[in-house]
Amino acid sequence: MINTKGWFSNKDNVIHAGEGPVYAIAWRGDLIAWANNMGVKVYDSNTSERVTYVARASGPGIAPPDQYRPSLVWPKEDTLLIGWADSVKIGVIKQRKPSPNQPSRFLQIVALFQPISTSVG
């Protein structure tokens, strides 16, 4: 929940609910990133809109989200590092053309580092 102060009252804005616990939060400028059971979400507090959602890897051999806590780091205003278990994603915030149905910014994953699984057969 984000609480903003106005001239005559405060306003509460719920930005996360009903998707399990939040494991990590990182805030840089007007962008807030948080990780939960589903993945990572980025919110623009200036425009009050969700920028993006990055799904957490799932499937056989992927550890449950509470076993390895994620790490979120903003090394620059427009770059988010997402580390979870043995993978790292690098995302860059980009601008898009104004559209009534989409936020003005989005996160593009520009690099992914994860081990290559090899099996000896």
49-68 pLDDT, tens digit each: 888 899 887 766 677 767 88
CATH of the domain at 104: 2.40.128
Q: Does residue 52 sit within a domain?
A: yes
- The CB density around residue 22, as the number of other CB atoms within 10 Å, is 13
Predicted model pTM: 0.80
| Cα 98 → chain centroid | 22
Nearest partner of 73 among 87, 54, 94, 88, judged by Cα: 88
Q: Does residue 119 sit within a domain?
A: no
Q: Does residue 121 sit within a domain?
A: no
pLDDT band at 90; cut points 50, 70, 90: very high
Read off the pLDDT of each residue in 76-92 and give the average, rounded to a whole number: 92
Assess contact for 104 and 50: CB atoms under 8 A: no
Q: What span, in angstroms and rounded, lies between the C-alpha atoms of 110 and 17?
A: 28
Q: Does residue 76 sit within a domain?
A: yes
Q: Does residue 4 sit within a domain?
A: no
Q: Does residue 118 sit within a domain?
A: no
- The CB density around residue 21, as the number of other CB atoms within 10 Å, is 10
Helix segments in 1-103, DSSP class H: none
Q: Does residue 5 sit within a domain?
A: no
pLDDT of 98 reads 79
- Name the more confident of 85 and 88: 88
Q: Does residue 50 sit within a domain?
A: yes
Backbone angles phi, psi at 79, to 5 degrees: -125, 130
Q: What span, in angstroms and rounded, lies between the C-alpha atoms of 21 and 66?
A: 9
pLDDT of 17 reads 67
Q: Containing domain of residue 14, as a range?
A: 10-113
Number of domains in the chain: 1
